[in-house]
Copies of this chain bind each other. A is one copy, B any other.
Amino acid sequence: MAVDPKKNTKSVYTQEQLLKIGERLKELRIQKGFSNYENFAFSHDLPRSQYGRYENGEDMRLSSLIKVLEAMGVTLEEFFNENFK
């Protein structure tokens, strides 16, 4: 994934963490029985395309992550526990 250093000032570490968060969201969404992210977003009143970007590791506001986790019935502690690898 080529990153334009001028445009994107996030460190590699930050980008890696955001990608891990996206992967964890996807893993939990599938665990909750939603093979398709759009169905998950639609049935939880979350903006579909935006939720798709979250799973792809795009930056988001903390309040958005909290809202998604609330829809999944997952706490922040559970989200970032030992499975957050």
Residues of B within 8 A of A18 (CB): 62-63, 66
A82 lies within 8 A of chain B by Cβ: yes
Copies of this protein chain in the complex: 2
A81 lies within 8 A of chain B by Cβ: yes
Residues of B within 8 A of A65 (CB): 62
Given contacts A61-B60, A61-B61, A61-B62, contact A14 B79 (CB under 8 A): no
18 contacts between A and B (CB under 8 A): A10-B63, A13-B66, A13-B70, A14-B66, A14-B70, A17-B76, A18-B62, A18-B66, A21-B62, A59-B61, A59-B63, A61-B62, A62-B62, A76-B80, A77-B81, A77-B84, A79-B80, A80-B80
